[in-house]
Amino acid sequence: MFNFTQKRGLLALAAAGFALAAALPAHAGKTLDAVKARGQVVCGVNTGLAGFSAADSSGNWSGLDVDMCKAVAAAVLSDASKVKYVPLNAQQRFTALQSGEIDMLSRNTTFTLTRDASLGLHQTAVTYYDGQGFMVPVKSKIKSAKQLKGQTVCVQSGTTTEKNLTDYSRANKLNIKPVVFEKVEAATGAYFSGRCVAYTTDASGLASVRNKEAKVPAEHVILPELISKEPLGPMVRRGDDEWFAIVKWVIYGLLEAEEYGVTKANVDQLKTSTTDPVVQRILGTTEDTGKLLGLDKEWMARAIKATGNYGESFETNVGPKSPLGLPRGVNNLWNKGGLMYAYPIR
């Protein structure tokens, strides 16, 4: 039996051990080692969803989800261009990550309990709060989702969208008739050809599809109801906590950079001029947070310089002045009425 003094001494030694462990650099995980050896981050993205992940005619990828891949590459490899993009449909995406074909999945993917608990994957951080909606032709004169009773609705299989549609129809006794397609291109093509009265997916996806594929976007309206919660963000494999931490903290860093006014344009100047202790930590001028992630001290400065902060990425890719024209809404920062709340870099 230990007496009180001995117990107190053991507790003190344990506390000192924890403090020492917390101060040590992170052990590089197998994914980080593989990424560095390869010289590329392999990132799973959508086959083509304007504003989130889409390639132009020259094969250059852009979008909010693509920016997360670029920011991670900049943080880890000092070069945002060191990304190999793997376009994946809804059915392929989880298998590609589970099998190690990709290092991270950044493909407008909803975080749910089932996906978190049963796929062997980690949900990192939300990059876009969305909700499922419906798009209909203006000429249909449908003003509400409740008017879809008995109607056909085009939907992609292998998604939360398909289950949400069934649940919504049953809960509201609408007897909606889903017309299911494996590929999103087939689903949207069927809608625009008139095979379905409505098309359903995340509201951001509806805006993207309307802008990209409708011959006359103004002839299609997105109904006001959202029938689900769809928090979207990148996913990584379980079993590699170091890589999970890197991807997660790059996202939080982009959010915190916006909160503290660090932008793509001023990041270099702030390295030498700022006296704000939070900004100094973000940019690595006072504390080396990178060593805790297996990175160097300028990991976050490079990520910001590559894509801009979260707000800049949002505005460029999906915001009101972009072709998609989406309002910031709930995706604004927490101190501006939104849900975006970054864990602090400290």
What secondary structure, in 3-state letters, does 241-296 show? HHHHHHHHHHHHHHHHHHHCCCCCCCHHHHHHHCCCHHHHHHHCCCCCCHHHHCCC
Structural domains present in the chain = 30-129+232-336 (3.40.190.10), 132-228 (3.40.190.10)
Say what the pTM is: 0.89
pLDDT in tens, 61-100: 999 999 999 999 999 999 999 999 999 998 999 999 999 9
CA 191-174-140 angle, 5° bins: 40
Ranges of residues in the chain with a pLDDT under 50 are: 4, 7, 10-22
Q: What is the DSSP string of 30-80?
A: HHHHHHHHHTSEEEEEESSBTTTBEE-TTS-EESHHHHHHHHHHHHHHS-T
Q: How far apart are CA 212 and CA 217, in angstroms?
A: 8
Distance CA 313, CA 307 (A): 6
| Chain segment 284-304, per-residue pLDDT in tens | 999 999 999 999 999 999 999
In angstroms, how far is CA 89 from the centroid of its own chain? 16
